[in-house]
Amino acid sequence: MKRQQIAAGNWKMNTTLKEGVRLASAVAKNTKTGNALVILGTPFTHLASVKQVIKSNKRVKLAAQNCYEKESGAFTGAISVDMIKSTGADYVILGHSERRAIFGETDKLIAHKIDLVLSRKMKPIFCCGEPLDVRKAKKHKTLVSQQVRKGLFHLSEADFKKVVIAYEPVWAIGTGVTASPEQAQEMHAHIRKIVAKKYGDKIANKVTILYGGSVKPANAKELFSQTDVDGGLVGGASLDAKGFGAIINSF
């Protein structure tokens, strides 16, 4: 079954507004042929301006990297889903391991944010993945199953179909150590299997599952060619227009 392939960039807390707009323009300019979507996960401060420079390119979409869990009110410094939606963003990255580890986000909170994002007709990019000690203890499949169940399995079929899943082993993020294509394939197949158990084969075969963790131009092709790997969520390498362009062309 044909699935939507995606090359998504997660810029994290990098780039000034000027640098970000320049980067987004270069990516949009270089994204021409092919069926894969390109998603730019920019800082909140850049969303509206980046939207302006990518909007004429239908293949390039905009994502926020998080949202606050309340809808509005006295929460100084927080960013709501309505604010994000009003910039023209299409996606929101949720449950990133940095949000889980540094900001203490729980499965329950992430599940709530998933609902909020869907309620505003945006699509969540739901991240899951195990730390190194969990993999060493051979508990990685158990943990990732739990994260996926607790984060997503409360959704109706109609809502689940709007979700993109990103498997990002924590030990591969920003470390230069990439999961081997076999390790990525094994976990992606596992995630698809548990989705099939809950929502059936048809929906499981349709859900886009991205791999994240030190994706580079040199390894993207091999990773993306795995049966159950539908693209990547790219951190560091998405900050370079040329390198990210090479990743986009790796399908």
Site for ligand 13P contains 31 (CB under 6 A):
no
Quickly count: other Cβ atoms within 10 Å of residue 29's Cβ.
Answer: 14
Please provide the DSSP assignment of 107-147 as one string. HHHHHHHHHHHHHTT-EEEEEE---HHHHHTT-HHHHHHHH
CB 8 to ligand 13P: min, Å = 8
Active site residue 130: no
**Within its chain, how far is the Cα of 203 from the centroid?**
19
CB 118 to ligand 13P: min, Å = 20
From 98, 105, 130, 168, active-site residue: 168
Site for ligand 13P contains 236 (CB under 6 A):
yes
Query: For residue 118, what are the contacts with CB-CB under 8 A and spacing of at least 6?
Result: 124, 155, 159, 162
Active site residue 105: no
Which of 212, 217, 231, 245 lies at the binding interface for ligand 13P (CB under 6 A)? 212
The site string for ligand 13P over 214-233 (x = CB under 6 A, - otherwise) reads: xx-----------------x
Residue 65 CA: distances (Å) to CA of 81, 180, 233, 238, 241: 11, 26, 12, 14, 19
Which of 151, 169, 213, 231 lies at the binding interface for ligand 13P (CB under 6 A)? 213
CB 235 to ligand 13P: min, Å = 2
The Cα 67–Cα 126 span in angstroms is 13
Site for ligand 13P contains 179 (CB under 6 A):
no
Side-chain half-sphere exposure of 173, counting CA atoms within 13 A: 22
The site string for ligand 13P over 140-169 (x = CB under 6 A, - otherwise) reads: ----------------------------x-
Among all residues, which ones are annotated catalytic? Answer: 96, 168
Residues binding ligand 13P (CB under 6 A): 10, 96, 168, 173-174, 212-215, 233-237
